[in-house]
Structure 1
Amino acid sequence: MTAHDARLHAFRTDLADVRLKGEVTADRFVSGQPVRITAPVADVRKAPRPDAGVNTQLLFGDDVLVFEVAEGWAWVQAERDGYVGYVADTMLAGRDQAPTHIVSVPRTFLYPGPDLRFPIAGQLSMGSTVTVTGAAETRGTHYAVLSSGEAVIAGHLRPVDEVAADYVSVAEMFLGTPYLWGGASGFGIDCSGLVQLAMRMAGRDVLRDSDMQAATLGEPVEPGPDYAGLRRGDLVFWKGHVAVMTDAETMIHANGHTMLVSREGLKDAIARIGYLYGGPTGFRRP
């Protein structure tokens, strides 16, 4: 991370966030316009091209600031974690209503009405926020009715101001979820995306990438001889990778080895990863 990391500050040589005036050089400074993500998952790309790499993802209901819209792409900054990049401009709309609930299960379906036999209208990831305007019951199943008229299983939502007690338990809900580089949703997720989303559901917004998390999350912890000083919830970092300890010996992580969110013994992982990438670079207690 640098003082003006381009992942976290909206600036280019031709255009920059007005809040950075006097700190960076640009031809023009503008104020970001507040909008909201309307796609189930929005890829945030490095450049305004469909073949550009995906750095992260935004979820339905995420608030962003838009600094430029051109040729089908919007240059945005996420308000929750500050990440900057390009999303398709069709995935944005105004902030007409405040969200009331958040999806609290890894994945759920949107129905065109309160009936699970209806063909689905879409799907949402954990962390997506919605506006609930009513309730319905059909054949004993309870639904939350959204401002759009669509319905979600009521038990898959919780009020936006309620948080999980243990972020590790949230991370464990994603076991078996496919690994996806840049992924930040229940449909596919990477190592730091898993940490970020699990912690968000426990009421803590943290930065996105593993190097950011290694520099800012909690405090360094000394693992001790044979790593016996580690405990549930501690984070283990490698260069470009992070895992969550579920107990003193076992960790959970989204990884390219199994291409899943999976459990692995810490010592086994250290031996396996070390062959290519070296040993852990640090341990932190959030």
Structure 2
Amino acid sequence: MTTQDTRLNAFRADLADARLKGAVEADRFVAGHPGRIAVAVADVRKAPAADAGVNTQFLFGDDVQVFEERDGFAWVQGARDGYVGYVASTALGPRDAAPTHVVSVPRTFLYPGPDLRFPPSGRLSMGSSVAVTGNAETRGTAYAVLESGEAVIARHLRPVADHAADYVTVAEEFLGTPYLWGGASGFGIDCSGLVQLAMRMAGRDVLRDSDMQAANLGEPFDPGADFSALRRGDLVFWKGHVAIMTDDKDMIHANGHTMLVSREGFREAVERIGYLYGGPTGFRRP
């Protein structure tokens, strides 16, 4: 049997994804069934318990494969990035109409109808996928009407086939967003979540955690002893951390120092981070 990463492969001693039969040992193998995230943000936990740590988050409209539902939790795997974990069963819904649009601003509101004066009925993060079934206009503001009958500001959406030209520009839209361990949304995000969501909006699906990104995203390169080869879009990795270069001198990252998505001088960051955690462990160019 080969060693498999449990973050990306659904297997336990008692149950496993049928696709892993022959690669892992388990008492029972199941194919699972399709589901879709039906809440704004679903915490993906390490264990089926409300106090278990959060590894990542899935967003409204994300497709998942459901292998087990028990005691209020579902054991699932994300279709987009392959991440495995436990979400509240109440976070799941059926895969109905295919999404037509994606939220393209960091955060937006849902309204019970096409009028911004209505009390919001919900909220959505950038990257959430929705099915638009109609359009409306109230007092000059255009709305997209969803299959639920709710409405969202039309200019806050883009068709699913459209992508941002520059993932760094997307990341910069999150400046000031609170840092959240395991966060992957416009309401709170961590370092690798910022990289993943920004690239997702630019049409590139990448793995979730910083160690996965450090091993698989783009190509490694040597920036030189004076770091003079760094340029916009390069990724800098420390142990357990990743930042995005915005030019040859500055970077943006979700970090526990400011507890925000912040811009910081690269050399200043190397000195500050190195005091406790050592220097950069690698550089990759997407």
Do they fold alike, i.e. is TM over 0.5?
A: yes
What pairs up with 1:69-88 in 2 under 5 angstroms? Answer: 69-88=69-88
Separation in 2 of the partners of 1:276 and 1:78?
34
1:2-49 CA-to-partner distances (Å, cap 9, x unmatched) read 941000000000000000000000000000210100010000000000
1:169 match: secondary structure: helix
Amino acid at match of 2:249: E
2:170 match: secondary structure: helix
Separation in 1 of the partners of 2:3 and 2:253?
29
1:24 matched to 2:24? The reply is: yes
Q: CA deviation at 1:221?
A: 1.3
Structure 2 residue aligned with 1:13:
13
1:51 match: secondary structure: coil
Structure 2 residue aligned with 1:270:
270
Separation in 1 of the partners of 2:259 and 2:32?
37
Separation in 2 of the partners of 1:3 and 1:112?
49
1:227 match: secondary structure: coil
Amino acid at match of 2:86: Y
What pairs up with 1:53-72 in 2 under 5 angstroms? Answer: 53-72=53-72
1:225 match: secondary structure: coil
Separation in 1 of the partners of 2:32 and 2:256?
36
Identical positions, percent: 79
CA RMSD of aligned residues (A): 0.7
What pairs up with 1:126-275 in 2 under 5 angstroms? Answer: 126-275=126-275
Separation in 1 of the partners of 2:27 and 2:225?
55
Separation in 1 of the partners of 2:182 and 2:240?
12
Which runs of 5 or more structure 2 residues have no equivalent in the other structure? none
Provide the aligned length of Structure 1 versus Structure 2. Answer: 285
Separation in 1 of the partners of 2:3 and 2:279?
27
1:89 matched to 2:89? The reply is: yes
The alignment's TM-score, normalised by the length of structure 2, stands at 0.99
Which runs of 5 or more structure 1 residues have no equivalent in the other structure? none
The alignment's TM-score, normalised by the length of structure 1, stands at 0.99
Q: CA deviation at 1:264?
A: 0.3
Amino acid at match of 2:177: T
Structure 2 residue aligned with 1:118:
118
Amino acid at match of 1:33: H
Amino acid at match of 2:39: A
1:9 match: secondary structure: coil
Amino acid at match of 2:29: F
4+ long deviations beyond 4 Å:
none
Amino acid at match of 1:96: D
Separation in 2 of the partners of 1:194 and 1:96?
28
Separation in 2 of the partners of 1:169 and 1:4?
35
Amino acid at match of 1:10: A
Separation in 2 of the partners of 1:238 and 1:210?
9
Q: CA deviation at 1:225?
A: 3.0
Structure 2 residue aligned with 1:36:
36
2:226 match: secondary structure: helix
1:149-200 CA-to-partner distances (Å, cap 9, x unmatched) read 0000000000000000000000000000000000000000000000000000
1:117-168 CA-to-partner distances (Å, cap 9, x unmatched) read 0000000000000000000000000000001000000000000000000000
Separation in 1 of the partners of 2:141 and 2:225?
52
Amino acid at match of 2:220: P
Separation in 2 of the partners of 1:145 and 1:194?
28
Amino acid at match of 1:213: Q
Check 1:153–1:87 CA distance in 2 against 1; reply closer, same or farther (3 A cut).
same
